[in-house]
């Protein structure tokens, strides 16, 4: 039997679908053990279990999640995308423009997840949502 060809874009899209369902176990299943999650401008998180813990924290307050991909391109094993990440919490939506880079290995696991976003935009919206504005 021939091994199934890994299509990096399909791996990333499946990861997003699991995040949108807030299925952390399934989402983490797409990550390599040695994953590096670099959520710019925050310090990198290394290792699958530490990424799981971080994801659990930022998804815990959300009742719904949408990661709308606006543009996406794949070059070799690298997937680049522009997204609008939306998190419904406390009755409102936090909407965060994000640029992401993902590297996928030959086993179909994400080894690098790097997102760029504006911390001020995130904090302003989060503060308003938590205050109930």
Looking at per-residue confidence, does 133 or 85 come out higher? 85
Give the CATH number for residue 98.
3.10.450.50
Average pLDDT estimate for 10-20:
98
CA gap 5, 21 in Å, rounded: 26
Span 23-51, pLDDT tens digits: 999 999 999 999 999 998 789 999 999 99
Per-residue pLDDT at 54 exceeds 60 = yes
Instruction: Give a yes or no: residue 26 inside a domain.
Output: yes
Edge-to-edge strand order for the sheet containing 64-75? 45-46, 31-40, 110-116, 92-104, 78-89, 64-75
Instruction: Give a yes or no: residue 37 inside a domain.
Output: yes
Instruction: Give a yes or no: residue 40 inside a domain.
Output: yes
Phi first, then psi, for residue 82 (nearest 5°) are -115, 130
Number of domains in the chain: 1
pTM for the model stands at 0.92
Instruction: Give a yes or no: residue 52 inside a domain.
Output: yes
CA gap 22, 130 in Å, rounded: 20
Domain of residue 103 covers 8-131
Instruction: Give a yes or no: residue 3 inside a domain.
Output: no
Span 96-112, pLDDT tens digits: 999 999 999 999 999 99
Instruction: Give a yes or no: residue 91 inside a domain.
Output: yes
Instruction: Give a yes or no: residue 1 inside a domain.
Output: no
Per-residue pLDDT at 4 exceeds 60 = yes
Average pLDDT estimate for 124-131:
89
Instruction: Give a yes or no: residue 41 inside a domain.
Output: yes
């Amino acid at each position: 039997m021939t091994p199934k060809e890994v299509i990096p874009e399909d791996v990333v899209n499946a990861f997003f679908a699991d995040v949108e369902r807030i299925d952390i176990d399934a989402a983490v299943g797409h990550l390599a053990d040695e994953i590096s999650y670099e959520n710019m401008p925050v310090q990198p998180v290394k290792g699958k279990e530490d990424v799981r813990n971080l994801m659990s924290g930022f998804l815990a307050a959300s009742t719904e999640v949408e990661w709308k991909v606006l543009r996406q391109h794949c070059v070799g094993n690298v997937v680049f995308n522009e997204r609008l990440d939306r998190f419904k919490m406390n009755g409102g939506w936090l909407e965060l423009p994000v640029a992401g880079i993902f590297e996928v290995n030959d086993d179909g696991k994400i080894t690098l997840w790097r997102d760029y976003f504006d911390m001020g935009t995130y904090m302003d919206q989060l503060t308003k949502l938590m205050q109930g504005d």
